[in-house]
Structure 1
Amino acid sequence: MADGEVVGPAQGRHLIAGEWVAGEGTFRSSPWTGEGRDFALGSPALVDRAAQAAEAAFPAFSALTREARAAFLERIAQEIEARGPAITEIGHLETGLPRARLEGERGRTIGQLRLFASHIREGAYLDRRHDAALPDRQPLPRPDLRLVQLPIGPVAVFGASNFPLAFSVAGGDTASALAAGCPVLVKGHSAHPGTGEVVAEAVLAAIKALDLPRGVFSLIQGGDRKTGEALVQHPVIRAVGFTGSLTGGRALFDLCARRPEPIPFFGELGSVNPMFVLPEAMAARGTQIATGWVASLTMGAGQFCTNPGIAVALDGDEADAFARHAADGLATVGPQVMLTDGIATAYREGSQRIGGGQGVRALHVSEPSGRNATPFLYEVTGEHFLAQPELAHEVFGPLGLLVRVTGEDQMLAVADAMEGQLTVTLQLDAGDHALAGRLTPVLARKAGRVLANGFPTGVEVADAMVHGGPYPASTNFGATSVGTLSIRRWLRPVCFQNWPEELLPEDLRGF
């Protein structure tokens, strides 16, 4: 089977500019249950084919009215909705995620598409500005200046392992890029290729229904490291969206920076999302907070990028009670299926790494096996934590670490030592406001989202949401991958000076 040979119908193939095509080889999926399927391997040649089609589609797609692009997003949502049962079933078989979770994630995916349709119709994202000409100004006249945000060109999106819908083929990165007017090349994640295939069918159905350029969307399945490298290094790709590991993301980030023409890499890489339990809150409701922490820590087998892996509290009797209650809660949590065998292996290795740290004491241990995860809970003093930065590295799964500090100053030192995070949480009552006031400026520098009296698992898709943060939480602290602000990643400001009205972009005419 030659690279790029057209085959059909869609069964384990790539979708390249409206055609289902095979590759030179195949990889076999590894579902949670049932037999695996063969899927075509990606290749640099297929990347080039998809990229060239995306570049050819860009002029016409970017010139569409905002209403036309909004209709496209809504039609994708409709097509995904129509395939709902099939998506749920194959997603469950591939990932082991509960059907209810997948149905909720599908709803979020559809909601994101419709939210961006509304957002671009409203038009505020264009950030239009007009400084009218001042021909009589002294000592020099001012020209007529008009600014608008324009799409940057084709973008690459890497599907996430832990969100087969909301952060994958038609997830937030794809929705926001299409809303901006940018064609999208998706590299599907090998953990759920069948799910990605069905979603790609939905996108293609929307493209055909609205007679849009076929190169506006492509899905390249699987592939080795060379496929991903070819994608981020292709000269027509103008930016990259990525959700995944620190190691893999950093490697791709470096490739983007080393290109002859560097491009932005918007990577979400890792976060332990620390939770600081302040004294008054601990005294008033420590066991309640422990219960909530256990629930958040183990939700979805801990496979959320906002999983609160570290709790920080003042040492003492109340911390003892908090630790006992958390350990008792974790003891009731049974094995949970992890997304891939590789993630399960990494979780076991991470548990051993934390447990082997100097001064680390086990509060609850378990014996995960195969593809299942079972929870762990450890504790360590603030002094030992500060001396071992590796204890603050993410373990992807239901593992918690309680850091017991000697006083407010050491709590501040722990906060200051934290690397960049997606989220930081304060559990506080009214009597904690003085300490919270000391912590807030430190923590606001560390995270993209700071929470009071809640838990970070669960990311609202909304105008004010920030899902990003300083490195290593993400590679661009000024960006978000969730919420309508995420569209800015795929836009650039252009100023038109003394430009004839009839030649201006449509969104600037008469402004």
Structure 2
Amino acid sequence: MAVVSQWSAVRAVGKEAAVAAAPVWSVDPRTGKPREEVAQEATTEEVDLAVRGAHAAVAALADRATRAALLRRAAELLDEAGPHVIEAADAETALGPVRLTGELARTTAQLRAFATVVDEGAFLDVYIDHADAGQTPPWPDLRRYKVPLGVVAVYAASNFPLAFSVPGGDTASALAAGCPVVVKAHPDHPATSELCASVLRRAAAEVGLPENVITLVHGFDAGVALVGHPLVTAAGFTGSVRGGRALFDAAAARPTPIPFHGELGSLNPVVITEAAAAERAEEIGAGLAGSMTLGVGQFCTKPGFVLAPAGETGDRLLKSLTAAVSDTAPGVLLDHRMRDAFVAGVAERVALPDVESPVTPGAGGEHTVSAGYVTVPAASLAAEGPHDLLLEECFGPVTVVARYSSADEITAVLSRLPGNLTATLHLAEAEGAGTAPGGAELLAALTPLAGRILVNGWPTGVAVAPAQHHGGPYPATTSTSTSVGATAIERWLRPVSYQSTPAALLPPELRDDNPQGLPRRFNGRQEN
């Protein structure tokens, strides 16, 4: 399937559009060589055209049934284009057809899930309270629901070219909320981004919507211009702490600040009790290896920091971890810049005093990296010092195992950890059943650190479920919202109350007869 940049059409709209700053190339991470010129970086004028086109499409998205139809048709067309999408994504990311087939299925499932959310209507959060003179003070007639914010800027992720990129959860949830989207493509997969954007735009046209409900731009400067555009009302970002924080600050510094929902970085700590290690050291070691090396360690939920016991039980666990990691083949990272950062990062960590490297991570070849892990006494991390580097995320197939000798050391280290997407606790059977002490206390200690707490599992793999929460305290995210699951739609909505408004002027969603059959709270009672 040919990739044709939509910017050829955008440039034809106005003669004032300037020539783009630079070509955008698709690069093969397996060789580092350019594959094809895909598009051109968008100028400030072109970003303005894109945002204004999206803004003009706001009214067309008002109908919920049409929004649901868009999401379902987009899922159908992506499934139909699956072989081409997977081929393009693999060529640009080296993630492999198996992984990408699963990611495409997750992506289309997200689109269909949000279509169901739109159909149900509970996300509108309707409250109706009739006037009541008996209240103190008296109540007027009040009716509340949520409305879409407007144009949303989405910054695509590098490590998920589908599920967190052009057709991913940010885009799906924003469209579900009734917000047109302008996506800033990630430079690691521009051809995949163009292909997916063309599919979404086709879906829009087929259900009778303007194609500009979804638009794509390329280039660093375009991303900066996008977050500052006065018609952009919110932004979603997945990427580095440095890049995300810069955009977050720009969003806050605007004359009219906007919400910026950024996912930036996460260690995803794991605590393994001594009893758990004694009970199943080999199983835990092998599970840790599988989770930390999954996708060449490029999952945002990779367990990058582990508190494991010292002594014989810990030795058994590390023996299992060593064997499993040693059997992991070298892999290709998403681009050579990330590869260089990984190699330099692990070298800096290995050089720290008291750090050992049972399996040394680093360069696996000219274009690949090898998995590994380092160990350090937990006591070295209990206070500020040179080992603080080990408490920072290192993107790639490496984890830090801090070996503790007491419960006090666990507490001291946990108190120094930053915010995370996940935190994991491995307990023995008796600890989990509450017949042995410690489980509840450790669970309570981990809860302030992350948005998702796991017990006796591994954090890689995020179910797209209504109860899911993918977010956490800073720097994991810049807000308290989730980017995965049904409640991700809430990021792109704001509540409005109508007071003493004549019935004929009320939105249909707020009328007493409930013509749309919405779930609502009516005079204090939940309906539907």
1:451 aligned counterpart, secondary structure: strand
**1:310 deviation in Å?**
1.3
Pick closer, same or farther for the CA change 1:187–1:138 going to 2, 3 Å. closer
Match of 1:170 among 152, 167, 170: 167
**1:18 deviation in Å?**
11
1:185 paired residue number: 182
TM-score with structure 1 length normalisation?
0.94
1:466 paired residue number: 469
1:457 paired residue number: 460
1:45 paired residue number: 45
1:142 aligned counterpart, secondary structure: coil
User: Does structure 2 retain, via aligned residues, the 8 Å contact 1:415–1:439?
Assistant: no
Q: Give yes or no for the alignment of 1:76 onto 2:74.
A: yes
1:342 paired residue number: 337
CA-to-partner distance for each residue in 1:305-328, whole Å, 9 max, x for gaps?
000011102211111121122112
1:3 paired residue number: none
Paired with 1:398 and 1:457, the residues of 2 have a C-alpha distance of: 13
Q: Which amino acid aligns with 2:48?
A: D
Q: Give yes or no for the alignment of 1:447 onto 2:460.
A: no
1:337 aligned counterpart, secondary structure: coil
Q: Which amino acid aligns with 2:420?
A: Q
**1:216 deviation in Å?**
1.2
2:124 paired residue number: 126
2:409 paired residue number: 410
1:312 paired residue number: 307
Match of 2:374 among 378, 382, 393: 378
2:85 paired residue number: 87
2:115 paired residue number: 117
Q: Give yes or no for the alignment of 1:96 onto 2:91.
A: no
1:158-237 residue pairs with structure 2 within 5 A? 158-221=155-218, 223-224=219-220, 226-237=221-232
CA-to-partner distance for each residue in 1:28-78, whole Å, 9 max, x for gaps?
2212357521121122211111111112211332x21x2211011001111
Paired with 1:431 and 1:19, the residues of 2 have a C-alpha distance of: 69
**1:215 deviation in Å?**
2.5
Matched positions, count:
497
Match of 2:508 among 495, 498, 506: 506
1:305 aligned counterpart, secondary structure: coil
Paired with 1:275 and 1:438, the residues of 2 have a C-alpha distance of: 15
Paired with 2:318 and 2:453, the residues of 1 have a C-alpha distance of: 24
2:522 paired residue number: none
Q: Which amino acid aligns with 2:472?
A: G
Paired with 1:377 and 1:99, the residues of 2 have a C-alpha distance of: 27
1:240-259 residue pairs with structure 2 within 5 A? 240-259=235-254
User: Does structure 2 retain, via aligned residues, the 8 Å contact 1:18–1:204?
Assistant: no
Pick closer, same or farther for the CA change 1:358–1:68 going to 2, 3 Å. same
User: Does structure 2 retain, via aligned residues, the 8 Å contact 1:152–1:182?
Assistant: yes
Residue range with higher mean Cα deviation, 152-161 or 434-443: 434-443
CA-to-partner distance for each residue in 1:67-92, whole Å, 9 max, x for gaps?
21101100111111111110011111
Q: Which amino acid aligns with 2:491?
A: R
Paired with 2:371 and 2:477, the residues of 1 have a C-alpha distance of: 26
Residue range with higher mean Cα deviation, 431-440 or 180-189: 431-440
Paired with 2:12 and 2:180, the residues of 1 have a C-alpha distance of: 16
2:35 aligned counterpart, secondary structure: coil
Q: Which amino acid aligns with 2:452?
A: R
Paired with 2:337 and 2:476, the residues of 1 have a C-alpha distance of: 21
**1:295 deviation in Å?**
0.6
Q: Give yes or no for the alignment of 1:261 onto 2:256.
A: yes
Paired with 1:182 and 1:402, the residues of 2 have a C-alpha distance of: 44
Paired with 2:268 and 2:453, the residues of 1 have a C-alpha distance of: 10
Pick closer, same or farther for the CA change 1:139–1:82 going to 2, 3 Å. closer
User: Does structure 2 retain, via aligned residues, the 8 Å contact 1:428–1:452?
Assistant: yes
**1:371 deviation in Å?**
3.0
2:273 paired residue number: 278
Residue range with higher mean Cα deviation, 331-340 or 358-367: 358-367
Q: Which amino acid aligns with 1:157?
A: V
User: Does structure 2 retain, via aligned residues, the 8 Å contact 1:18–1:214?
Assistant: no
**1:370 deviation in Å?**
3.2
1:306 aligned counterpart, secondary structure: coil
CA-to-partner distance for each residue in 1:257-287, whole Å, 9 max, x for gaps?
1111111110000111111101211101011
User: Does structure 2 retain, via aligned residues, the 8 Å contact 1:351–1:376?
Assistant: no
User: Does structure 1 retain, via aligned residues, the 8 Å contact 2:451–2:471?
Assistant: yes
Residue range with higher mean Cα deviation, 209-218 or 70-79: 209-218
Pick closer, same or farther for the CA change 1:366–1:255 going to 2, 3 Å. closer
Residue range with higher mean Cα deviation, 188-197 or 382-391: 382-391
1:475 paired residue number: 478
Paired with 1:331 and 1:232, the residues of 2 have a C-alpha distance of: 44
Pick closer, same or farther for the CA change 1:415–1:310 going to 2, 3 Å. same
Pick closer, same or farther for the CA change 1:383–1:131 going to 2, 3 Å. same
Pick closer, same or farther for the CA change 1:347–1:140 going to 2, 3 Å. closer
Q: Give yes or no for the alignment of 1:11 onto 2:4.
A: yes
User: Does structure 1 retain, via aligned residues, the 8 Å contact 2:25–2:34?
Assistant: no
1:60 paired residue number: 60
1:47 aligned counterpart, secondary structure: helix
2:460 aligned counterpart, secondary structure: coil
**1:138 deviation in Å?**
6.7
Residue range with higher mean Cα deviation, 161-170 or 435-444: 435-444
**1:417 deviation in Å?**
1.5
Residue range with higher mean Cα deviation, 360-369 or 373-382: 360-369
TM-score with structure 2 length normalisation?
0.91
1:238 aligned counterpart, secondary structure: strand
Paired with 1:164 and 1:297, the residues of 2 have a C-alpha distance of: 20
User: Does structure 1 retain, via aligned residues, the 8 Å contact 2:346–2:361?
Assistant: no
Unaligned runs of 5+ residues in structure 2 are 515-528
User: Does structure 1 retain, via aligned residues, the 8 Å contact 2:201–2:213?
Assistant: no
Paired with 2:50 and 2:362, the residues of 1 have a C-alpha distance of: 45
1:29 aligned counterpart, secondary structure: strand
Paired with 2:200 and 2:461, the residues of 1 have a C-alpha distance of: 26
